Amino acid sequence: MSDVSRGVVVGEDGVSRCWWSVTDPLYVRYHDDEWGRPVADDHRLFEKLCLEGFQSGLSWLTILRKRENFRRAFKGFDPAEIARFNAKSVARLLDDAGIVRHRGKIEATINNARRYASLVEEVGGLAPYVWSFEPSGKTRPKRLTRAALSQITTSTEAMAMSKDLKRRGWAFVGPTTAYAMMEAVGLVNDHLTGCHAREAVERARARFRRPAPKT
List the catalytic residues.
30, 52, 60
Give DSSP secondary structure letters for 119-157. HHHHHS-HHHHHHTTPPPGGGS-SS--HHHHHT-S--HH
Answer whether 73's CB lies under 8 Å from 99's CB: yes
- Print burial letters for 110-131: b (CB count within 10 Å at least 16), e (below 16): bbbbbbbeebbeebbbbbbbbb
Give DSSP secondary structure letters for 48-82. HHHHHHHHTTS-HHHHHHHHHHHHHHTGGG-HHHH
**Whole-angstrom Cα distance, residue 30 to residue 199?**
16
Residues 6+ away with beta carbon under 8 Å from 98: 66, 69, 70, 72, 73
Q: Is 35 helix (H, G, I), strand (E, B) or coil?
A: coil
How many angstroms separate the first and last alpha carbons of the chain? 51
In single-letter form, the type of residue at position 37 comes to R
Q: Find the radius of gyration of the CA atoms of the chain.
A: 18
